[in-house]
Structures are given as C-alpha cells and as structure tokens.
Amino acid sequence: MRWLMRWLLAPLLAVVGILPVRALEIRPVSVSVPAGTAHAEVWLENTGNTPWKGQARLYRWEQAGDQERLLPAGEVAVSPAQLTIAPGQGQRVRVVLLGGAPDVVQQAYRLVLSPGPDAAAGTARYSLPVFVEPQAVAPRSRLRVAIAGSTGTPLLRLYNDGAAHAHLADLAFVDARGRRHGLIDGLAGYVLPHSARSWSLPPRPDGYAGGCFQARLDHAAEAALPSVAPEIAAPAQPGL
C-alpha cells in the first residue's frame, strides 16, 4: 500500500515542483517625493524563476465618502512604464514630478504594478502609496476620532484636517476600566489630508463610551486618538 501511494503521488509532486513562481520584492513599500526634488526611486526585484512582465501606472489617490478612488494623473509620470524583469534581476522605476511641488498640502498617488495579459492566473498585482511633499516645512497629520451609529453596528470615523496623510496601525480601544481591546493588528490604513475614513466596530454594551481609542500614528509609539465633538465631526472637503 505504501509503495502504491508513493507511485500515485510521484507525478503530482513532480508537477508541483516545476510550477513557476512569480513574485516581486519592492523597496521601499511607501514612496515619498521630497520638496525640491523632481523624482523618487523604487527598486523591483524578481524573486521568481520566470520573467515578470507587466506595466507601471500612477494614479491620483482620493478618499471621498468612505470610498477609495484612483483617478488619472497628468502631473506625475513613471519611467519605465513597461517592465520585463528576468529571474533574479532588478529594475529601477522612477516616479517623476512633471510640475512643481504643491504649496501646502501633501498630494497622494498610487503606483500600480500590473502583470501583463499573458501572466499566469494568480500573479499578484501591487499597489504602493506615493506622496509628493509640499513646499511647506514638515506638514503633519491632524487626526480626530468620533463614533457614529452607536446602535446596531457602530462606526469609527477618523477625520484628518492636517496637511499630510496619517498612517494608522495597531488600532485598539481602552475601556473605562483601562482594559485594552485590540481591533486591528498591524496596518489599519491611511487617512489622506482633508479626508475621512470609517471602520465598522464590533458592538459593545457601553457603546464605546467612557473609553478612548489608541493607535500607532505615522510609525510612532502608541498614543491615544483625540476625540472630536459631534457638532464639528463633518469631514473637510477634499482639496481645501
């Protein structure tokens, strides 16, 4: 019986052993174009055993009404746009700013790396955040938190009135007794300048009253998120 099982499994193992592996290692995973420079670099390395063929495109990234939108972007470009990376080889991709840097508010984009039409099923598509820094010195995020819909499914609403994006990680709620309840481990997401985002929360008997939310903002240590009064909880309009 053991001999028979080995005989049946041998062809399957042989097939699995020769399946192509396609993967890109990307550095960095978040791109910043500093004020005063015209470009930033991203390095792609093909860690698979077959060529990676695809294209790179840049899109304007907006958040509106809890929706992520990718729009055409004519003020930035990516070079090269068509990619062929041999196994074990690398490729430098440049994000090029065609116009001047923004004056005050950071601009957000997404660099999307899509495999070509002949790629095998399951080949990954990659999306990296790209931020063009303004001329203003050290723009910062200014995040506020509020709870909406306390009956039924509560929503955590985050408003960013600052001039830079907020990077949110390790989101937790600390109740009135000081007990920490983890909500999202690792990256929770981004809140772009003058934008808002919402997350659904598990219901609690206290409706999240009497406690506070904590998170790691912009890769810093964990800190409490300041609350905002309901009457001023309307999100700012994009672009203001």
Domains detected in the chain = 22-132 (2.60.40.10), 143-232 (2.60.40)
Residue 176 tokens, joined: 């009135």
Least confident stretch, 16-20, 188-192, 204-208: 16-20
* 85-97 residue pLDDT tens: 999 999 999 999 9
**Where is pLDDT greater, at 55 or 210?**
55
pLDDT at 149 over 90: no
Least confident stretch, 18-22, 204-208, 228-232: 228-232
Confidence label for 239 from pLDDT (cuts 50, 70 and 90): very low
Mean pLDDT of 199-225: 88
Confidence label for 22 from pLDDT (cuts 50, 70 and 90): low
pLDDT at 198 over 50: yes
Place of tokens 């592996």: 21
Signed CA dihedral, 179, 181, 182, 183: sign only: negative
DSSP 8-state symbol, 7:
H
Residue 164 tokens, joined: 């830079």
CA distance 156 to 127: 25
DSSP 8-state symbol, 20:
-
What is the amino acid identity at position 18?
I
What local confidence, expressed as pLDDT, does residue 233 receive?
A: 36
CA distance 172 to 181: 6
3-state secondary structure of 11: helix
CA distance 4 to 165: 60
| H or E segment to which residue 10 belongs | helix 2-17
CA distance 17 to 20: 9
Residue 124 tokens, joined: 């990954």
**Where is pLDDT greater, at 228 or 122?**
122
What is the amino acid identity at position 54?
G
CA distance 57 to 128: 11
Percentage of the residues of the chain whose pLDDT score is greater than 90: 58
Closest CA to 125 of 48, 33, 22, 16: 22
pLDDT at 211 over 80: yes
pTM: 0.82
| CA neighbours closer than 13 Å in the CB half-sphere of residue 20 | 13
Mean pLDDT of 128-133: 96
3-state secondary structure of 81: coil
pLDDT at 78 over 70: yes
* 31-58 residue pLDDT tens: 999 988 889 999 999 998 889 999 999 9
